[in-house]
Amino acid sequence: MKYSFVNNDKVEAFKGGRGRCILCREETIAKCGTKKVNHWAHKSIIKCDSWWENETEWHREWKNKFPKEWQEIIHHSEITGEKHIADIKTPNGLIIELQNSPISTDELNSREEFYKNLIWIVNGQAFKNSFHILHRLPNPKAEFVQDIAFMDSKKDDLGKLFYRYSENDENATMVEVHSIREIQSEIDANYIGHHIYDWVRPRSVWQKSKCRIFIDFGGIYLWELQVYDEAGLKCVRKYDKNNFIKRANGNQ
């Protein structure tokens, strides 16, 4: 945990510090060293929030992009009385959960049902080398796209194909396909961040989420997992991190 209560103030860990957990009010001890990010730990072996994962520098960097008053906020269910610590909770009730370690489908579903108004930011460093962001896609609402179906492709595909609905009736046994290069200029003119991707050995739990998923591979962009069209084509959309943070902070 980044924060504990010390004399009723919510403070960060400091050398020799002792406090009280912001969720369960049990005693906490500050852990300050050079190998791990400074944090608070329960004095006993209890873990009061089963959804809490060990704090990393990645967690801390993301939390610090938001006001202190939004960080590590207790969210509770008025129906069941259940309580958990949200990584970020904005004044308008949006929950931002920062996930570094793998998560089970059951826990994913439980968190999404509990928080409801939730988005995920997932640390993609562990699978960065197996996640290939491929060719651009146009704005799915562009007029010329309404006659086009893009075909899923892999990292080593050379064709990068699409077909036109107007050229292939529903009874056709052979589909006439085209190279993506034929419409590259139209794609570039209507590009707003969408890309085909190939995820080798995907963490399929994230494809089951009912909430928005943004993957952080480092650098200046976040990549949101999306479904591109009615046929279910999977894609990612690129977002500038600074703009994302400004919008979450209510500055846009």
d(CA 135, CA 181): 10
The tokens for 91 are 């004044």
Tokens of 234: 């999977």
Lowest mean pLDDT among 53-57, 114-118, 160-164, 196-200: 160-164
Confidence of residue 159 (pLDDT cuts 50, 70, 90): low
Range of weakest confidence among 95-99, 144-148, 154-158, 181-185: 154-158
C-alpha angle with apex 249: 234 to 72, nearest 5 degrees? 90
Higher pLDDT, 80 or 10: 10
pLDDT at 84 over 70: yes
The mean pLDDT value for 226-240 works out to 94
CA distances from 102 to 51, 98, 174, 189, 206 (A): 12, 12, 42, 38, 10
- Given a cut of 80, whether residue 126 has pLDDT beyond it is yes
Q: Tell me the whole-structure pTM to 2 decimals.
A: 0.85
pLDDT at residue 249, as a whole number: 78
pLDDT of 70: 95
Summarised one tens digit per residue, pLDDT across range 128-150 is 999 999 989 999 999 999 999 99
pLDDT at site 107? 94
Indicate if the alpha-carbon torsion angle 61, 65, 67, 70 is positive or negative.
negative
CA–CA dist 197, 189 (Å, integer) = 20
**Which pair of structure tokens corresponds to residue 162?**
């699409």
Which helix (DSSP H) or strand (DSSP E) does residue 213 occupy?
strand 212-216
Lowest-pLDDT range of 19-23, 56-60, 125-129, 230-234: 19-23
Q: How far apart are CA 168 and CA 176, in angstroms?
A: 7
Indicate whether 122 pLDDT > 90: yes
Query: In the predicted model, what is the mean pLDDT of residues 1-23?
Result: 86
Token pair recorded at residue 90 = 């904005």
